[in-house]
Every structure is written in structure tokens, then in C-alpha cells.
Structure 1
Amino acid sequence: MSAREIFSFRNPYFSASVGITVALFLLTALGGFIVLPYAQPQLKFAGLWDTICGAAGLPRASTAEGGQPAAHTSRVVLTSTTLARASQESIGRGATLAQRCAICHGPTGISQADSPNLAGQYASVIYKELLDFRSGARTNAVMSPFAQNLSDQDIADLAAYYAYLPRLPAFHPEPQLAPTRIVVYGAPLRGIAPCGSCHGSLDNKTGSPWLEGQSALYMKTQLQAFASGERRNDINQQMRNIARAMTPQEIEEAASYYASQPPEFIKVVE
């Protein structure tokens, strides 16, 4: 049999192969671009084209329940060089601005309450979160009004200052726990990557905070907020997708583990 006869629609095997391939492609496109996006209860799409754009990751005019515009999401773009080299002047200005932050985050960037510790946090993380608080992508009764009055330079200066501070032990240290499965291995069958693949120990992803020594209550609250969709300033819904798939026990274990860990390094200030 010649090649022309093999690749001819008169060949029943070739016709069947093409038909099956086309059918699989159409079913996959239908599921990925229409069925699965419509299955997201937290989003309401304006139409079929809006749904397809959403599945493809393109800007779209999604609306929330009741036909109201969807909540703001983060539009901050981060790279590995974002605020990588801050000037001494920027750090000094940030130190002055940070006096207003001390009541919640502590005078040395270590909170005595359940607010996050900021001393030694990556500058890109603080920069992104403050911009999100200012834009409304992330909301908080205390932080949102505070961020409204900050300029872009103010935010960069605060980020530079806190990143400059040494990472110190938590104000209320907890007994150190062994790594848990969700932190080290994740849950691949449920699409959960290891926490350490973004938040240190295995790797650090730009924009992901270091978590060692943070308040267990704060971390648990944030994971629950991601899971419920109350917090939605994660880029590409990464944390929302992970938190939704986590069990309450896994959320508890991850928060407790990180809260019990000492800072991954302590900067010596001469």
C-alpha cells in the first residue's frame, strides 16, 4: 500500500484516527474553555466569549454575584530585580515612615500581636501587598486606610526598610515542629505543590513571603481567606487554588509548622 493510500480518507483506519483526534480536541476545548470556567462558583461570566477569555488567562469583564463588578485583583508585576538594591536614603525614609507601623508590627518589625512580622521580609512582598491594599485588591480595616495615603515612593521606602532589618526570632516563639507532608511534599493528586517550593526551604518564588516565625493564627486566617475567596490578591489565583484543595487539618499543620520555625537566617548588623 502506498503512502498516498494510507493517508487517504478512503482508508477506514486513517479516517477513524482523524475522527477520534478531532473529537478529543473538541471535548478537551469544551471542558477546558467552557465547562470548567463556568464551574467556578465565585465568578460570573458575561457570556461565552468572556468565559473563553477567562480560561485562556486574558482580561475579561467578569462580574460577581448579583451582577456587581468582580472584586479587584492584584495588578502588580514583580520580577527578581524588583527593589533588589535599595539606597541608604530610601531605607532611612522608610525607617521614618515605619514609626506609624510599629503599633501593629512592632518597633523592630517583630509583632507582639498576631500581625505579620515584617523585619527581613522580602522587599518585593511588602511592596506588592501595600500596593494591593492601596488599590483595593486586598482589604483590611486597618491597612486599607493607611495605604491610601502612601505614594509609590513611600511604599518602596517602607519595603526597603523592612527588608533591611535582621530577621529576629518571633516575640512568642513556639516549640519547633518537624516538617509536615503538606509543606515538604504537597499533595500532587490534588494539585497542591509543596509549601516550600514557593515559600523557601525548597525554593523561593518572587512575591512569595518567607513564613518562618509568623503567627500561626495569622497564617491560618489567611489560608482560610484564600480558600473562601475573601482574599483574592494572589497572582493567577495560585494561593486560592491551593487553599481550596487543602483540608482544615492541612491548613492547621502548615500554619503551626511555620509558626514554630526560627528565621531561616539572622542578619548581623555591625
Structure 2
Amino acid sequence: MSTRELFTFRNPHFTVSVAVTVGLLLVTALVGFIVLPFAQRHETFAGVWDAICSAAGNPRVTQQGEAAPPPAKTSEAVLTSTTLAHPSQQSIGRGATLAQRCAICHGPTGISRADSPNLAGQYASVIYKQLLDFRSGARTNAVMSPFATNLSDQDIADLAAYYAYLPRLPAYHPEVQLPPTRIVVYGAPLRGIAPCGACHGSLDNKTGSPWLEGQSAAYIKAQLQAFASGQRHNDISEQMRNIARAMTPDEIEEAANYYASQPPEAIQRAD
């Protein structure tokens, strides 16, 4: 059989191949542009066309005929492994002056007693990113958003340098005879959950991921729940939102309690 005869509809094998390919394309388009958009729990469409527009990335129309609200603002911070890696002593000094306004929530030495995050020893890039996000509206908080609005880029860099300069609370996990917290050490690979320590310092640190040891259990739990619900959305590439959605309430509780472990004398020294 010649090549010309092979690629003609007189060849039954060629006809079946084309039909199967076209059928797969139609099924894929149906699932991707109609079935999956309608399957999203938080979306409401007036009709099939709105679902197709939404899947294609175009603004959709609500049932009332009004334009849908814009997506939540996400972080615009750009970080590298060298971001604020070598701050000057002048920057640290200016940050110490600015930090006096932060002491009521974050403690005079960067160790909070009010379930606000501990900032002492936190990676400078983390504080830098979060303050930028509070200022831009990518992350919102009734206290932090108004505070960050008037901060300049230099102010944010100075605050980050100062808090990174302070000694952090050490890791403390006294119950060595018990099995380690699985979600922190091993994650849950079958559900797409990486070990917490892979990004947050126990095993390695991903630029922009905070040091969690010694943080308040209430704070960590609240942030994981906010990521899971989508209330917090300043994580790059939705990494934390995807992880938190896949975590069970018990796993969130276990992770929060694991990182919050601190010896009594460490808390007393913070006073």
C-alpha cells in the first residue's frame, strides 16, 4: 500500500484513527470547558456559555447580569536567595527604632505573648514579603494592613533586617520517645502534601517560607485554616492553599502543636 493510499478515508484504519482522535478532542473540551467549571464548589454560572468563558479565562457574567468580581489580589513580591542577605548595621538600627511600634503585639524582643507571630530570628525575606503583601492588599489584617500602608520600601527592609538579627526561639520537641508528627516529617505524598520541614526549616528552607519553630499554635492553626478556605491568598503559586485544603483538621492541629512546643524557661526569658 502506498503512502497516498494509507492517508485516505478509503483506508479503514486511518478513518478509525481520525474518528477516535476527534472524539477524544470533543470529550476533552466538554470536560475542561463545561463539566469541570460547573464542578467548582464556589462558582455559580448563569449558563453553559458563562462556564466556557470562565474556563477560557474571560470575565463571566453572574445570574443577575453583573460582571463577576475580580479575583483576589495575590502577592507581587519577588524574592531570591540573596534578598536582604547582608543588611547593614545602619539598617538594623533603623529597624529597631521602627519596631517599637510593633512591640505591643510582637513583643519587645520579637517574642509574642498574644498569639501574634514571633518575629525574632525570622528570615528577613519572610518579613519583607509579608509586609509588602500587607501594604499591597495581597494579605489583609485589621491591624497589620493600616500599619503597613505608610511603610516605605526602606522601612520594610529595615524592619526585616532588625527582626532577622534577633535570636530566635530554638526548636524544642522533648517527647523523643514518641513517633514524630507524620505530617511534619513525612507529609502525605498520596494527597500531594510535602513534609512541612522541606520548606519551613527543619530539613530545608524555601525562600519566603517562614521559620515555624516556637510559633503560637493558635496562630499556625488560624493561618492553615485561612489558606484552606481561601481567605488568605498571598502564597506564591497557591502552594499553601493546595496543601492546607488537603490536610485534615487533626493534621492541622498536630502540625500547630508540634511547632508550638517550647520549654517553660524559653517563654520566661521572652518576658
User: Hey, what does 1:268 align to over in structure 2?
Assistant: none
User: Hey, what does 1:101 align to over in structure 2?
Assistant: 102
User: Hey, what does 2:188 align to over in structure 1?
Assistant: 187
TM-score (norm 1): 0.79
C-alpha contact 2:230 2:241 (8 A) present in aligned 1: yes
For residue 180 of structure 1, report the CA deviation from its aligned partner: 1.9
1:52 lines up with 2:52 in the alignment: no
User: Hey, what does 2:12 align to over in structure 1?
Assistant: 12
User: Hey, what does 1:27 align to over in structure 2?
Assistant: 27
Q: Structure 2: how far apart are the matches of 1:195 and 1:237?
A: 15
Q: Structure 2: how far apart are the matches of 1:220 and 1:95?
A: 29
Aligned length: 254
1:134 lines up with 2:140 in the alignment: no
- Structure possessing the higher radius of gyration over alpha carbons: 2
Deviations 1:199-235 (A, max 9, x none): 2333322211121111111100111111122212222
User: Hey, what does 2:266 align to over in structure 1?
Assistant: none
The letter for the 2-side match of 1:39 is A
2:13 partner SS: helix
The letter for the 2-side match of 1:212 is E
User: Hey, what does 1:196 align to over in structure 2?
Assistant: 197
For residue 71 of structure 1, report the CA deviation from its aligned partner: 3.3
What's the RMSD between the two structures over aligned residues? 3.1
User: Hey, what does 1:56 align to over in structure 2?
Assistant: none
Q: Structure 2: how far apart are the matches of 1:200 and 1:64?
A: 44
Measured at CA, do residues 68 and 49 of structure 1 come closer, stay the same or move farther in structure 2, by a change above 3 Å?
A: closer
C-alpha contact 1:192 1:245 (8 A) present in aligned 2: yes
Deviates more, 1:15-24 or 1:199-208: 15-24
Deviations 1:107-128 (A, max 9, x none): 2211122111111111111111
2:84 partner SS: coil
**Alignment of structure 1 residues 1-270 onto 2, 5 Å:** 9-32=9-32, 35-42=35-42, 48-53=52-57, 67-169=68-170, 176=175, 178-260=179-261
C-alpha contact 1:179 1:257 (8 A) present in aligned 2: no
**Consecutive unaligned residues in structure 2, runs of 5 or more:** 264-271
TM-score (norm 2): 0.79
C-alpha contact 1:7 1:14 (8 A) present in aligned 2: yes
Deviates more, 1:158-167 or 1:179-188: 179-188
For residue 154 of structure 1, report the CA deviation from its aligned partner: 0.6
C-alpha contact 1:63 1:70 (8 A) present in aligned 2: no
Seq. identity, %: 77
Deviates more, 1:71-80 or 1:216-225: 71-80
For residue 244 of structure 1, report the CA deviation from its aligned partner: 1.5
For residue 99 of structure 1, report the CA deviation from its aligned partner: 1.2
C-alpha contact 1:174 1:260 (8 A) present in aligned 2: yes
Measured at CA, do residues 92 and 74 of structure 1 come closer, stay the same or move farther in structure 2, by a change above 3 Å?
A: same
Deviates more, 1:15-24 or 1:77-86: 15-24
C-alpha contact 1:63 1:69 (8 A) present in aligned 2: no
User: Hey, what does 1:267 align to over in structure 2?
Assistant: none
Deviations 1:71-124 (A, max 9, x none): 322222222232222222222211111111111111221112211111111111
User: Hey, what does 2:267 align to over in structure 1?
Assistant: none
Q: Structure 1: how far apart are the matches of 2:62 and 2:158?
A: 35
C-alpha contact 2:135 2:145 (8 A) present in aligned 1: yes
Measured at CA, do residues 2 and 14 of structure 1 come closer, stay the same or move farther in structure 2, by a change above 3 Å?
A: same
For residue 164 of structure 1, report the CA deviation from its aligned partner: 1.9
